[in-house]
Structure 1
């Protein structure tokens, strides 16, 4: 019953006397309309508070189960992908008799495998349980990483790196999709920051671990120290891959009773519906077509491409770049740590503010401009301090872009299959350009590496420039929907009826800018 009609529906008995001056009923058993309104408002407020409290506890449970597991997985993936740069300073090239562009080709072939398996991997998450797919691929990439310790020549290194790239698609592109099953749009960036921020921890930890291994295990058991580096970083990956079958949850609808109560499970499903996660785990070809024909997905992929080409070179060549500033091999390993620490803190701040303000493009632009400044310092710097500061700014201008851009892509897709394809499109396009990133820091350009720095600077400009253009189009489409359908209020069930057929053209859906 509407509170405005309460006064009209209350029937007063004949013996009730009303003091019209004070408008106070003399009969204590009959509530006044004003009191009923206040009581209902209080009850509504209490219900909202109770729902928020239930949701807060549920989020805490989801965070504790999902984020540590996925973050450690991505940390290990980043270690296994980037440790070849540390191994290079430990004598890998000499021991494997690499010549000419062999080392650069070993870097590039990783991304060839990564690109080939991007879309198939994301579609496998849709057809298999995520825990099974990630468990299988993680175990296999751990095997590939460990096997790099046994390589004897360039061909063996190429084969191991290619399959490492194939199997690492099981966590990198797939995890943002899995997180979107559990979190609302405004919650994604901070969660992706925790997940993807582990790559900065991997960079810092990898430098410290390489310093310890290369400094103390040379010749142990007859093996070169760089071989021990691959073994020590590969075996934990295999172990965690096997555990993933048990510890990693799949979808809200399939959550076990030991983890979520029936009430919590229902709330998780309702949260997914209110976040426009409307479809089932079945693969939908219509959504694939919708994703491929959406020009906004191609623009977002271009944003992501602008960060991945310099990121690929930064990860693999930072130890080499630092060494050319005048440091020894071991000193260079240690000095790779501060840029990653700076990037980690910057990532957390930017992603927190992005979620709080519900803005993506603004922070993508700010971060990528930080990277532009960093590469300017590296390009024109004439002293060690300024160039090292440039390396720190470059890291700060690259790593935060990963969660910001992926959350932007995920936020602006309605439907699991469409979201899966959009994420795979961005990753495929960007990782294709990552092949270029592995080839731009040539030995003959040392020690200044000006061509490489200039190319990376151009890519950072591409990122913030494309983000500006995309934001303009998204704002324009939101305004068009507001004009046609009105500004949407709080989302309830009627807003997402039919959403699986209309995708993000649904009247109740608005793009995150």
Structure 2
């Protein structure tokens, strides 16, 4: 098993605060006892958890609401009021991913150049405005334009936050934190149904505005407000001025924690790392995992209310019945990610939850029984959502170097989002209530995720074993002390991959 030893937290103050994550000089460090080190590290991690994770979870919850509320608005009469014809609704779903895909890598590189608080705040306010504008569109062209720019600006949070978290947390701490962050998307699915139900019941026609328009208004305004607050609340990188929320000793330790994990490069952009990320087989297998996930996720998030309605429920009841699948998925996301961090095992967990999702699609396909098919919908959510933090943590764990990690995370998400477009096209109203085509395609792609995870784990295990045979067991705790780590990165003989 590829594991990472607890870092030695003896550190020095950084010599250049303007350089992102410049490695501390160990010779300048004034030693303290191991007991004090451990206590300081626990205190630091608690501070990080309290400051970073709840706020990021709220931001991603708003991102998920604004991305997927078009599915709830559809049941409120969006198509009829805008007089959408033919494939115009599906075009509006698809165009979001066009904007989202194009700006993945640029966003992950910009967030390093600018302060994360500034970049995240700016993009949040802008996507909130785009979401709000959907409430005031009167034709397909306006809706499509809003959805495109919504995708462009959501890149400021979606792919960027896992990169930012990797600068603050260690390898065996990351999956649970990413899970809490991404797990809020399952909460968003539950909230979306409840909010849509409440809005359509109480605000439909208020001030002459249709209920589906109120859905966009009610969910966009908090996004804009939170975006403005993010510039104050959101921390930047460990080496950035921290507005006094960390003591000097804690800040030293935060910087040291990034260097012992191999974050030693001093440049904002490294061309060699950029190319290395593009040709790394690990990243392409992770792409396959995420492709399989995103085909299913792209359809599930926006079509679940329609799928449940076509089980025989009224539109308003379908909004409420879309809540339990997300609640179940949220619980499983946290449980699986916690155990994955505890064991530093990613592959087996992805295979397990993929199998759960496959079983859910089999239930949806195999029977006309309403109870069995609804159970299938719950299992699909439980199979899809845990794969998100597991895969992104796995990619981050196995990429050393800022540029390589930034490009790898963006690359995996970006290519997979192209296939999410397929997910928005495979469910058609005329295929209801069974949706044989849509469920079959999603089943095949989720099976692909499980198989790709199996292949990636096998290859990483083989490479770890090869390095053990040729170079012996890896015993170095502080990767920043290794010779050539700034040129070899994760190819270094002393580095072992997380499985």
TM band (smaller chain): over 0.9
- Where does residue 386 of structure 1 map in the other structure? 372
- Where does residue 224 of structure 1 map in the other structure? 210
Secondary structure in structure 2 of the residue aligned to 1:252: coil
> Shift of the alpha carbon at 1:246?
1.5
Contact 1:131 1:250 in 2 (8 A): yes
Question: Mean alpha-carbon deviation: is it higher for 262-271 or for 128-137?
Answer: 128-137
1:57 and 2:43 are equivalent in the alignment: yes
Which of residues 101, 111, 126 in structure 2 aligns to 1:115? 101
Contact 2:277 2:408 in 1 (8 A): yes
CA distance, structure 2, for counterparts of residue 358 and residue 299 of structure 1:
19
Secondary structure in structure 1 of the residue aligned to 2:239: helix
Contact 1:189 1:354 in 2 (8 A): yes
- Where does residue 269 of structure 2 map in the other structure? 283
- Where does residue 267 of structure 1 map in the other structure? 253
Which of residues 156, 159, 179 in structure 2 aligns to 1:193? 179
Contact 2:72 2:319 in 1 (8 A): yes
Contact 2:288 2:449 in 1 (8 A): yes
- Where does residue 62 of structure 2 map in the other structure? 76
1:210 and 2:196 are equivalent in the alignment: yes
CA RMSD of aligned residues (A): 1.2
1:164 and 2:157 are equivalent in the alignment: no
> Shift of the alpha carbon at 1:290?
0.9
Structure 1 residues 166-181: aligned runs within 5 Å = 166-181=152-167
> Shift of the alpha carbon at 1:460?
0.8
Which of residues 488, 491, 499 in structure 2 aligns to 1:505? 491
1:459 and 2:445 are equivalent in the alignment: yes
TM-score (norm 2): 0.92
> Shift of the alpha carbon at 1:108?
0.6
Which of residues 345, 351, 359 in structure 2 aligns to 1:359? 345
Contact 2:260 2:480 in 1 (8 A): no
1:474 and 2:460 are equivalent in the alignment: yes
1:275-309 deviations in Å (ceiling 9; x for gaps): 11212361211110110111111111111111011
Unmatched 5+ stretches in structure 1 = 1-45
Max Rg structure: 1
1:129-163 deviations in Å (ceiling 9; x for gaps): 11111111111000000000000000000000000
1:344 and 2:340 are equivalent in the alignment: no
- Where does residue 130 of structure 2 map in the other structure? 144
CA distance, structure 2, for counterparts of residue 364 and residue 273 of structure 1:
28
- Where does residue 81 of structure 2 map in the other structure? 95
CA distance, structure 1, for counterparts of residue 482 and residue 138 of structure 2:
57
Contact 1:278 1:496 in 2 (8 A): no
CA distance, structure 1, for counterparts of residue 269 and residue 426 of structure 2:
39
- Where does residue 15 of structure 1 map in the other structure? none
Question: Mean alpha-carbon deviation: is it higher for 242-251 or for 211-220?
Answer: 242-251
Question: Mean alpha-carbon deviation: is it higher for 190-199 or for 257-266?
Answer: 257-266
Contact 2:186 2:326 in 1 (8 A): yes
Gap change, CA 1:374 and 1:141, over 3 Å in 2: same
- Where does residue 409 of structure 1 map in the other structure? 395
CA distance, structure 2, for counterparts of residue 270 and residue 211 of structure 1:
49
> Shift of the alpha carbon at 1:312?
0.6
Secondary structure in structure 2 of the residue aligned to 1:507: coil
CA distance, structure 2, for counterparts of residue 238 and residue 181 of structure 1:
26
CA distance, structure 2, for counterparts of residue 496 and residue 146 of structure 1:
51
1:215-238 deviations in Å (ceiling 9; x for gaps): 111110000011111011001111
Unmatched 5+ stretches in structure 2 = 1-31
1:410-460 deviations in Å (ceiling 9; x for gaps): 000001110000011101110000000000001221111011000000011
Gap change, CA 1:120 and 1:494, over 3 Å in 2: closer
Secondary structure in structure 1 of the residue aligned to 2:83: coil
CA distance, structure 2, for counterparts of residue 510 and residue 272 of structure 1:
17
Which of residues 219, 222, 227 in structure 2 aligns to 1:241? 227
CA distance, structure 2, for counterparts of residue 252 and residue 323 of structure 1:
48
Contact 2:310 2:433 in 1 (8 A): yes
> Shift of the alpha carbon at 1:374?
0.4
1:298 and 2:284 are equivalent in the alignment: yes
CA distance, structure 2, for counterparts of residue 173 and residue 257 of structure 1:
25
Secondary structure in structure 2 of the residue aligned to 1:178: helix
Contact 2:333 2:385 in 1 (8 A): yes
1:331 and 2:317 are equivalent in the alignment: yes
- Where does residue 361 of structure 2 map in the other structure? 375
1:39-98 deviations in Å (ceiling 9; x for gaps): xxxxxxx93332221101000111111111111110000000000000000000000000
Gap change, CA 1:253 and 1:219, over 3 Å in 2: same
> Shift of the alpha carbon at 1:497?
4.0
Gap change, CA 1:493 and 1:319, over 3 Å in 2: closer
Contact 2:236 2:242 in 1 (8 A): no
- Where does residue 134 of structure 1 map in the other structure? 120
Contact 1:495 1:508 in 2 (8 A): no
Question: Mean alpha-carbon deviation: is it higher for 477-486 or for 305-314?
Answer: 477-486
CA distance, structure 2, for counterparts of residue 57 and residue 180 of structure 1:
18
Secondary structure in structure 2 of the residue aligned to 1:131: helix
- Return the structure number with greater relative CO, CA threshold 8 A, min gap 6: 2
1:442 and 2:434 are equivalent in the alignment: no
1:252 and 2:222 are equivalent in the alignment: no
Contact 1:126 1:281 in 2 (8 A): no
